[in-house]
Structure 1
């Protein structure tokens, strides 16, 4: 039996590109192109959800020599221009997933932004005012989209490893360090359900800048919080985290 070649996945999140950042990311993208086979970016690509910020990032991405795939984050929705931001980055050869799946370098990737809702026995329930129900419905819908995308990979490419890309966290462990009061706004256990059900190889997220690098779901699926501030806090030598799959 021929041994499958290991693929090096580099992941980071919360780039928060600003208009003043021209030239800042190019050296990072040049470096990661030498060290990895695929780059994953877990949302908050822009700082204020402005299309000019996306243009700056897109121009910097021209230095990439490897495929890049990711999701949008809450900051990218700030001005309601998320569709424009997505198109700008797609035009610069980035694949942005929103309930879709794609195969790159023999790895299946599925992604959604995700949403809040809380964790474990403290998850918010679909009860009460319409606004509260809508809040919970949002993360349930995101979870269902992720499950469908992973299911497609499972059906069409059962032999391939599966990686989930999120912005919001699917577990409490990787947001610990943040104020407990804002946990419901940093992610939800609903997002962990498809990870466990579809037995993904690994999941990446960002969003929680004061969280922890690594945790696991209840079924021992590894989850990494690759927000840039977390990588800096954990003294990761590079502004991205690399695993081999």
Structure 2
């Protein structure tokens, strides 16, 4: 008789920027991940130029990964306005793309949005001034609200469920440090941290800041991991993914 499962191992990465020329490049890595983890998270910039042919290549590479794969889209996936088609191609290949939704696997609730910019802490942009500035800030507000609603829905059926958040943009400044300070407002927003605190999220993963830091903690104590591929390769050239063991309650 098998014992009760005591943990779920999550593998996470982001900013893989798949190109059409990448056929065969990722299959072995995804197979390795499937042997080490229970769930794979890919946190945005799945494609390099937002082209559906790139998404088709990724879908083929993921056939070697026989564990659940969950992701969110990133800014590169929106480049050509074909993000809906990219999402459909990947979901048809059994990858779950979250955009304000949640899914439960191994009694862990995963919720995800792309997120957006706006800056951090006392330097966060406010909804004031020109309409174009208000629209920029409103996008981050909308993404934050979407994430909050997704996390809330996960709690409805199980108030004590352990929750993981997927983002592309960062919810904290700490994991983008290393990038030029001038572009911090375009790398994430503190507004995205609000639902993490409100819903008592266990951990959050993001990408986008290629020269940032691997890990950090929000002001409310939520662990945040920047799993952008360039950062992971700097940490461990042989293992371009991050593993996190999540204990079961």
Q: Does residue 55 of structure 2 align to residue 54 of structure 1?
A: yes
Q: Does residue 157 of structure 2 align to residue 170 of structure 1?
A: no
> 1:43 aligns to what?
44
Q: Does residue 66 of structure 2 align to residue 100 of structure 1?
A: no
Alignment of 1:75-114 (within 5 A): 75-114=76-115
RMSD value, Cα: 1.1
The list of structure 1 runs, each at least 4 consecutive aligned residues, that deviate by more than 3 angstroms after superposition, is none
> 1:131 aligns to what?
132
Which whole-Å CA distance do the structure 1 matches of 2:4 and 2:214 have between them?
A: 30
Deviations along 1:56-77, one digit per CA (max 9) or x if unpaired, are 0001011111000010000000
> 1:244 aligns to what?
245
Deviations along 1:139-188, one digit per CA (max 9) or x if unpaired, are 00000000011111122122321000000000000000000000000000
> 1:231 aligns to what?
232
Unaligned runs of 5+ in 1: none
TM-score normalised by length of structure 2: 0.96
> 2:72 aligns to what?
71
Deviations along 1:180-224, one digit per CA (max 9) or x if unpaired, are 000000000000000011110000000000000000000110000
**Displacement after TM superposition at 1:3 (Å):** 6.4
> 1:16 aligns to what?
17
Which whole-Å CA distance do the structure 2 matches of 1:233 and 1:180 have between them?
A: 21
Which whole-Å CA distance do the structure 2 matches of 1:236 and 1:68 have between them?
A: 22
Which whole-Å CA distance do the structure 2 matches of 1:137 and 1:42 have between them?
A: 22
**Displacement after TM superposition at 1:18 (Å):** 0.3
Which whole-Å CA distance do the structure 2 matches of 1:233 and 1:71 have between them?
A: 23
**Displacement after TM superposition at 1:235 (Å):** 2.6
Unaligned runs of 5+ in 2: none
Distance 1:183 1:206, change over 3 A: same
Which whole-Å CA distance do the structure 1 matches of 2:237 and 2:137 have between them?
A: 35
TM-score normalised by length of structure 1: 0.98
